[in-house]
A and B are shown apart, each in its own frame.
Chain A
Amino acid sequence: MSLEVLVFIIFNGLLYGMFLFMLSSGLTLIFGMMGILNFAHASFFMIGAYLGYQISENINFWIALIFAPMLVGIMGAMIEKYGLRNIHKYGHIAELLFTFGLFYIIEEMVQLIWGKTPVPYKVPEILNFPLIEISGMSYPAYSMFRLVISLLIFLAIYRVLAKTKTGLIIKASLTNPNMVAALGHNVPRVFSNVFGFGCALAGLAGVLAGNVIGTEPSMALLLGPIVFVVVVTGGLGSIKGALVASIIIGLIQTLTISMEYDLNSLINYLGFQIDINSTINHFTSLTLSQLSPIVPYILLIIVLIARPRGLFGKRDV
């Protein structure tokens, strides 16, 4: 592998990883703070993408960038207040099931409003020019813009949680809700706000990514499970963990997808030969790039079984 290809892979992996981080940072917050595994998180991402499309179609992209996440956040807070809060007494499994139902409802609603086919959500003209060129591949300014925003999100969340009073109250509300309430804070509202904020982050990711990966009703189903992989691998509620896990998964996936090695080449290297017409060849001729979709799920299963607290988590899932 030449150095150029390696740089190319690392750069693409970083881009993809930071996209995953933006997508899953909200869920890390919600999961870590409230213990709710929001199955519908990727659905909020999808709503963000569709709202981003609709607003930038009618007004412009920059307004969409601000208002679409806010709308998604309000929607999320409403769902927490009128839905999830009532279910809390039945336990985490019931909450998970509720969001699972929500996932179906949102997908159908989106299909109802915007149709089953992808919508033409385009990258804003002003950022649609090649900014840098690495090993013959040019990268548009828009992907740099996304990279910067996702880094800013990381810094903002990290600082808020670690250094400010708000972060303290949020963290204390999880471990000691009664005490926090006794100190005069409205704990249910803290939870609503955290949930809404997490959803707004997903919405922001949607606005920024919908025009690159394509805005269609199946995007939630495609990305939903990957979000879980990131959150679980990174560790419960650890924003640092989510960042590291996102980048690792991004790198692994870009690496495997660009590798055309199969088992046959290893067998040939060891000095054996496989008959091309045999049944075994169907399996040994599968290349790493063909197998790359399953890599995240294998990672998820291994982490959950072997190290349930993930990379930086402090307690088990």
Chain B
Amino acid sequence: MGKEMFNSIKLKFISLFILILFLLFLPYIFSSSFALTLFCKMGVLIIFSVAYNMLLGQTGLLSFGHAIYFGLAGYASIHILAAINNSYLPSLPLVLLPFVGAIVGLILGVSIGYLSTKRLGTAFAMISLGFCELITALTLIFVVFFNGEDGIQADRVTGNDLFGLTYGPQSEVYYLILFWCIITVLIMYLLTKTPFGRMCNAVRDNQQRAEFIGYNVRKIRWIAFSLSATFAGAAGSLHAINYEHIGFESVSLVQSGMVLFMAYIGGIGNFLGPILGAISLTYLDTMLSDVTEAWVLYYGVIFVLVIAFAPQGISGIILMHSPILRNNPALLKKLITPYSIFLVSILLLTIGFTSIVELIHSIKSNHETLKFFWLSFNNKNILIWLALGLIMTSGVIASRKSFGLVKEKWNEVMEEIKLSLIK
């Protein structure tokens, strides 16, 4: 057993090392400024969503107000940057600025957490929503600190930083964010392995038993809340450095909802889930917002479908296959056919739905024709509407049927694995 564990840890170290090496050379592989901006955004949101999942996934607390810590830490960082710009403050190495954000997050987390962790479940969610609306309203009231709807700007180039970095070019910011991303995610991962991390899970799963063993469940929730706010604060600081601007929308419900979407779609039951969610949704967000104006609608639809049909999220679905891989990888072949049928029907559904939405949109924006993928449609033609409706309905029916097929095959495979294990 000891040797096996040692091997698995060694494997983890090696894969982590390769991953970091890959990330270090990423700007050389994708060197366009567009890609760099995207990576920076992903890095910030990875920290934020992993921090969020400390609360939602690990401790079982649903918060609608986590952007408070993200946004207010961002405001604090921007103010410090602006003070350095105007030489009110001595120059501070930029790499240390996320510490400031983390401290702001911690202070806020400890104080708001003290009030809100008294309750759990729906009541906790409501309290967090109340705080979110409260702070959003305050950002518009206290103009002197938040500057209303315009937000605040500052220059991140403060003179020569450590190692001669200036943070003028985006690639240097990329390495700053990468550095913080690796450190914070690693700390948060190690936290899940500590007794404290385990107690968080216990509080999530069975509060009464955790209480019975002699733990103060409220204190555990409070600590988890504060730590989560701390890391969210560090992410907010990096967000401010990355954009050199912060506005009231970064404390609002919209930002909180975004991180909730990321964590949930990625999968809250697994540490890698929020990372996966942050990467894929940031990518989708950047790609779709150029092509279509209805991307928030697609976001919402994906979110609702994940809740209804795959509450374990993307990472959960992937990890479901690990018992098959461990025991009898050959069985995966059985799943290929139902999976591909399912994917085709989902594709059909997606094409039907998105083209109908885009067609409606093209009417609203007074375009006669709509270019969709490589086709162009005329939105006055009733036949096209009928055809798209047909595609969508057949997509819905096919997906429902093939979802059943996938389930059936999946159960078969699972039965076989169980049988082989008994033998």
Asked whether, in the complex, the Cβ of B119 is within 8 Å of the Cβ of A94, the reply is: no
Report the separation of the CA atoms of residues A115 and B360 in the bound assembly, to the nearest whole angstrom. Answer: 11
Asked whether, in the complex, the Cβ of A98 is within 8 Å of the Cβ of B127, the reply is: no
B14 at the interface (CB under 8 A from A): no
Asked whether, in the complex, the Cβ of A94 is within 8 Å of the Cβ of B311, the reply is: yes
Interface size of B in residues (CB-CB distance below 8 Å): 42
A105, A291, A297, A316: the one within 8 Å of B297 (CB)? A105
A119 at the interface (CB under 8 A from B): no
- Leading 8 A-B pairs by shortest Cβ distance: A104-B300, A108-B297, A101-B304, A105-B300, A282-B144, A300-B130, A101-B303, A297-B134
Report the separation of the CA atoms of residues A315 and B62 in the bound assembly, to the nearest whole angstrom. Answer: 21
Interface size of A in residues (CB-CB distance below 8 Å): 45
Asked whether, in the complex, the Cβ of B360 is within 8 Å of the Cβ of A113, the reply is: yes
Task: Identify which of residues 10-59 in chain A touch chain B, using a CB-to-CB cut-off of 8 Å.
Answer: 37
Most chain A CB atoms below 10 A, which of B130, B133, B303, B357: B130
B143, B299, B311, B361: the one within 8 Å of A112 (CB)? B361
A191 at the interface (CB under 8 A from B): no
User: Separation in Å of the B359 CB from the closest CB of chain A?
Assistant: 10
Query: CB-CB contacts of B272-284 with A at 8 A, as 1s and 0s?
Result: 0000000000000
Report the separation of the CA atoms of residues A228 and B62 in the bound assembly, to the nearest whole angstrom. Answer: 16
Asked whether, in the complex, the Cβ of B304 is within 8 Å of the Cβ of A93, the reply is: no
User: Separation in Å of the B366 CB from the closest CB of chain A?
Assistant: 11
Using Cβ atoms and an 8 Å threshold, which residues of chain A touch B303? 97, 101, 104
Instruction: With CB as the reference atom, state the residue of chain B lying closest to A37.
Output: B122
User: Separation in Å of the A34 CB from the closest CB of chain B?
Assistant: 12
* Interface secondary structure of B, over-half rule: helix
Report the separation of the CA atoms of residues A104 and B304 in the bound assembly, to the nearest whole angstrom. Answer: 10
Report the separation of the CA atoms of residues A108 and B298 in the bound assembly, to the nearest whole angstrom. Answer: 9
* Interface secondary structure of A, over-half rule: helix
Using Cβ atoms and an 8 Å threshold, which residues of chain B touch A96? 62, 122, 125
Task: Identify which of residues 346-399 in chain B touch chain A, using a CB-to-CB cut-off of 8 Å.
Answer: 357, 360-361, 364
Identify the A interface with B (CB < 8 A): 37, 83, 86-87, 90, 92-94, 96-98, 100-105, 107-109, 112-113, 115, 221, 225, 228-229, 232, 279, 282-283, 286, 290-291, 293-294, 297-298, 300-301, 304-305, 308, 316-317
Identify the B interface with A (CB < 8 A): 62, 64, 115-116, 118-119, 121-123, 125-127, 129-131, 133-134, 137-138, 141-144, 253, 257, 260, 264, 294, 296-297, 299-301, 303-304, 307-308, 311, 357, 360-361, 364
Given known A-B contacts A98-B308, A283-B142, A294-B138, A112 and B300 have beta carbons under 8 A apart: no
Asked whether, in the complex, the Cβ of B142 is within 8 Å of the Cβ of A101, the reply is: no
Instruction: With CB as the reference atom, state the residue of chain A lying closest to B360.
Output: A112
Asked whether, in the complex, the Cβ of B311 is within 8 Å of the Cβ of A90, the reply is: yes
Using Cβ atoms and an 8 Å threshold, which residues of chain B touch A87? 307-308
Asked whether, in the complex, the Cβ of A317 is within 8 Å of the Cβ of B299, the reply is: no
Asked whether, in the complex, the Cβ of A221 is within 8 Å of the Cβ of B301, the reply is: no
Asked whether, in the complex, the Cβ of B126 is within 8 Å of the Cβ of A300, the reply is: yes
Asked whether, in the complex, the Cβ of A286 is within 8 Å of the Cβ of B122, the reply is: no
Asked whether, in the complex, the Cβ of B307 is within 8 Å of the Cβ of A98, the reply is: yes
Using Cβ atoms and an 8 Å threshold, which residues of chain B touch A107? 296
User: Separation in Å of the A177 CB from the closest CB of chain B?
Assistant: 19
Using Cβ atoms and an 8 Å threshold, which residues of chain B touch A229? 130
User: Separation in Å of the A296 CB from the closest CB of chain B?
Assistant: 8
B134, B144, B264: the one within 8 Å of A298 (CB)? B134
Given known A-B contacts A102-B304, A112-B364, A115-B364, A282 and B142 have beta carbons under 8 A apart: yes
Asked whether, in the complex, the Cβ of B126 is within 8 Å of the Cβ of A37, the reply is: yes
Asked whether, in the complex, the Cβ of B300 is within 8 Å of the Cβ of A108, the reply is: yes
Instruction: With CB as the reference atom, state the residue of chain A lying closest to B264.
Output: A97
Asked whether, in the complex, the Cβ of A279 is within 8 Å of the Cβ of B125, the reply is: no
